[in-house]
Amino acid sequence: MHPLDPCTADELTSAVAVLRAADKLSDRAFFSAGWAAEPSRSDVARHEAGESVDRLIRLIGHDRNQGQSFEADVAVGTATLAAFRWVEEGQAPISMDDVMQVIFALVEHPDWLAALEARGITDLDKVHVEPWLAGINPPQMPTGRVIRAIAFLHEHPEDNYYARPIEGLTAYMDADSGEILVEDHGAVPTPMEAADYAAQFQDEFRDDIKPLDIVQPDGPSFEVDGHLITWQKWSMRVSVNAIEGLVIHDVRYRDGDRDRTVFHRMGLSDMVVPYGDASPLHFWKHAFDAGETSLGHQANSLTLGCDCLGEIAYLDAVMLQNDGEPRVLENAICTHEEDFGILWKHTNVFQPELPPEVRRSRRFVVSCVHTVGNYEYGFFWYFYQDGTIQLEVKLTGIIGASALHAGTDLETSPQVGPNVTSPIHQHLFCVRLDPALDGGTNSVIETNVEVDTEGPHAYGAGFRALATPLRTEQQAKRVIDPAASRTWKIINPSSLNAMGQPVGYKIVPPSTPTLLPPDESPAGQRGGFARHNLWVTQYDEDQHYAGAGPFTNLHPGHGVGLPSYTADDRPIDDTDIVVWHTFGVTHVPRPEDWPVMPVEYVGFTMMPAGFFDQNPALDVPPASHCST
Ligand code: NI
């Protein structure tokens, strides 16, 4: 076992047994997640192949009798409880146990039944209750493990109930005490139009699609050894974390004789999805799908030919269930390679006797798809032959819906279907990038390109790439500026390329929004990481999450995470740093997003910028099937 391997089912079972034996939890406690605590860099560096690893397994969960969540570290090698604490602020992620409590309690609650009856709904089998994250404790229920609920109506059991939102009706439940508060904001007719997307409901399919098969007769060009993957010159370790989803550790690129380190760790740290419609069904929604719902638990089991195409190698993940039993999530990670068009090309028109030089680009893909309630998120990390790394997040699934009525504000909730509107919302993702460019310490440089407006050049020549070192954490809170071609370059000042420049990788940020809700709002207090596109912090192993991490659920916020990490404005120049990049989209729903949304792509790219001495992909051979 390697120290960066994810925890096994046996480790989880042992850790749960140790914690139970310590007699800290009541019989109304449940587990939310468990994972191997990140080993220190020095422990990873000291590890020799084949050596046993003494690991800490972190367990989180919630005790309904205590009304608090817990966090425990268990040393499985010695079967000892190394640490235990009751969490003071925030709670463990929402669990299946919470969800089922809300669903079963509401169908028996007189206020809920009366509100349904006021809408002419008496057949409870047709009502789909959808429990939701409350975000923070609302004034109506200032304490307790609050879950919100909204509801939709079925016409028949297999249809898309999201097309029939039961408008104006919400409920809160304290899942610990069982207390329920139903809020009826007034009955509005429920849309009855069908909006089905499943194959069985389509009258016809287009018939002009011929088979397209990806065939690799000699197998794929990558190797999987446990969680270690090598593909051409790249190597990395991949796993699924219960909270953060896909994590890529120890990213390296073999450059001649050198096995060069690029990143210690890359992964989503947090994400926030604030809704911008003031109607009762939506105004409180601002989901943190990583910390509040434990993203890793929502990973799909991927199936050949559907989610990925070609020669696939799958990796499983192990998640801890509420009852303390491990569950193997088969095929949680898909790895494969893809043809990606042209890598580079040149035709010399002055020497027509020479063949054009063209190379096909191949990329290695590591992906994981999560279903969180109505929505899907696919995380796709791409590694390219020229040293480029890219993260693409695929957004799909079913958008939030409201019933169109006289009070609808179409500017905040545009119409997307017959009698259905959908609120404008944002999806903002914050990735945590722990760089290791040739090891050692790193700095971050911002580059803005300006043109000399006064000067001797009548042609307007004088495009200057102005490099500004970001020297402190406050100085490094930055937003994009596409007009200035703004990029941020991570460099290692002590490792120089053939030109004597420090080796670097630049973050090429996409056109991306920042957080719209104001600072004093719940989303602003809890999702401060989305206020800026770039943050750089001094490395601190206790500062792992961009927000409140595994205890985001019902956490009041007050600048938790990056805003507080950077408050002391520590120096970040030529030291051990972590780079955080927030990107995403403000989603103004379209009719084409209904009834199921075609994938919208967001993400960012990291390009080597002086990391190599020249194009590192000159050694990619011409494709054998190309006729010239
Ligand atoms: Ni969206």
Q: What is the CATH number of the domain that holds 588?
A: 2.70.98.20
Query: Peptide bond before 595: cis, by omega within 30 degrees of 0?
Result: yes
Supply the CATH number for residue 72's domain: 3.10.450.40
70 strand-pairing partners: 61, 86
Domain final position from 86, 108, 125: 86
Name, in order, each residue with C-beta under 8 angstroms of 351's C-beta and a sequence gap of 6 or more.
none
Same domain, 319 and 405: yes
Compute the radius of gyration of the chain from its Cα atoms.
Answer: 26
Q: Is residue 617 part of a domain?
A: no
Active site residues: 289, 375
Contact indicator for 414, 588 with CB cutoff of 8 Å:
yes
Is 141 in the same domain as 27? no
Residue 168 CA to residue 145 CA, distance in Å, equals 23
State in Å: Cα 490 to ligand 1 middle: 31
pLDDT above 50 for 433:
yes
In the chain, the number of structural domains is 3
**Is the CB of residue 264 less than 8 Å from the CB of residue 286?**
no
Does one domain contain both 395 and 437?
A: yes
Higher pLDDT, 457 or 449: 449
302 and 428, same structural domain?
yes
Say if residue 260 is in the same domain as residue 338: yes
Cα(431) to ligand 1 centroid in Å equals: 19
What pLDDT shows up at residue 309? 86
Residue 242 DSSP class: T
The whole-number pLDDT of residue 628 equals 47
Residue 295 C-alpha to ligand 1 middle, in angstroms?
A: 17
Q: Is the pLDDT of residue 100 over 80?
A: yes
Confidence band (pLDDT; 50, 70, 90) for 104? very high
What's the gap in Å between 194 CA and the centre of ligand 1?
A: 21
Distance 400 CA to ligand 1 centre (A): 8
pLDDT on residue 610: 98
Q: Note whether residue 208 is domain-resident.
A: no
User: Based on the domain organization, do 452 and 558 belong to the same domain?
Assistant: yes
Does residue 343 sit in the same domain as residue 378?
Answer: yes
pLDDT of residue 52: 84
Give the pLDDT mean for 514-519: 96
Distance between Cα 378 and ligand 1 center (Å): 13
The predicted model gives 313-336 an average pLDDT of: 97
pLDDT at 144 over 50: yes
Q: How far apart, in Å, are the Cα atoms of 224 and each of 204, 237, 502?
A: 42, 10, 33
615 falls within a domain:
no
- Three-class secondary structure of residue 583 per DSSP: strand
Query: What mean pLDDT comes out for the span 232-260?
Result: 98
Q: How far, in Å, from the CA of 588 to the mean position of ligand 1?
A: 8
Task: Give SS3 for 218.
Answer: coil
Q: Decide which of 86, 104, 120 is a domain's last residue.
A: 86
Q: Could you tell me the residue range of the domain that residue 77 belongs to?
A: 9-86
Among residues of the chain, what percentage have pLDDT more than 90?
A: 93
Q: Read off the amino acid at residue 381.
A: W
Question: Is residue 524 assigned to a domain?
Answer: yes
Q: How many angstroms separate the CA atoms of 129 and 565, rounded?
A: 39
Q: Do residues 120 and 229 both lie within one domain?
A: no
Alpha-carbon gap, residue 22 to 36, rounded angstroms: 20
Mean pLDDT of all residues in 27-36:
98
Assess if residue 23 is contained within a domain: yes
User: How, if at all, do strands 169-174 and 127-133 pair?
Assistant: unpaired
Instruction: Report CA(147)–ligand 1 centroid distance (Å).
Output: 22
Q: Label residue 467 exposed, middle or buried (CB < 10 Å: 0-12, 13-18, 19+).
A: exposed
Residue 143 Cα to chain centre, angstroms: 29
421 and 448 assigned to the same domain = yes
Most confident of 48-57, 450-459, 596-605: 596-605
In angstroms, what is the span from residue 213 Cα to ligand 1's centroid? 31
Distance from residue 360's CA to the centre of ligand 1 (Å): 34
- Pair 493, 595 in one domain: yes
In 445-508, alpha helices (H): none
With a CB cutoff of 8 Å and minimum separation 6, the contacts of 289 are: 271, 273, 295, 298, 370, 372, 377
Cβ-in-10-Å burial (0-12, 13-18, 19+) of 273 comes to buried
Residue-level pLDDT at 626: 67
Last residue of a domain, one of 86, 118, 148: 86
pLDDT, position 627: 58
Q: Is the pLDDT of residue 304 over 80?
A: no
75 vs 446: CA distance, rounded Å: 43
Q: Which of these, 566, 547, 568, lies nearest to 556 by C-alpha position? A: 547
Is the pTM higher than 0.75? The answer reads: yes
Q: Does the residue 354 lie in any domain?
A: yes
Query: Cα of 390 to ligand 1 centre, how many Å?
Result: 21
Burial class (CB in 10 A: 0-12, 13-18, 19+), 487: buried
pLDDT confidence tier of residue 49, bands split at 50, 70 and 90: confident
Please give the average per-residue pLDDT across 572-592, as a whole number: 98
- Out of 30-34, 43-47, 508-512, least confident range: 43-47
Give residue 571's pLDDT band: very low, low, confident or very high (50, 70, 90).
very high
CA of 197 to the centre of ligand 1 (A): 17
Residue 444 corresponds to which tokens in the numbers above? 């971050």
* % the chain with pLDDT above 70: 99
Q: With respect to residue 616, please indicate whether it lies within any of the assigned structural domains.
A: no
Is the pLDDT score of 217 beyond 70?
yes
- Is residue 410 in some structural domain? yes
Residues 101 and 79 in one domain: no
On whether both 81 and 179 belong to a single domain, the answer is no
Judge whether 310 and 569 are in contact, CB under 8 Å. no
- Decide: 449 and 467 in contact? Cβ < 8 Å: no
What CA–CA distance (Å, rounded) separates 529 from 546?
6
- Only one residue has tokens 């989180």, namely 60
- Give the three-class secondary structure for 103: helix
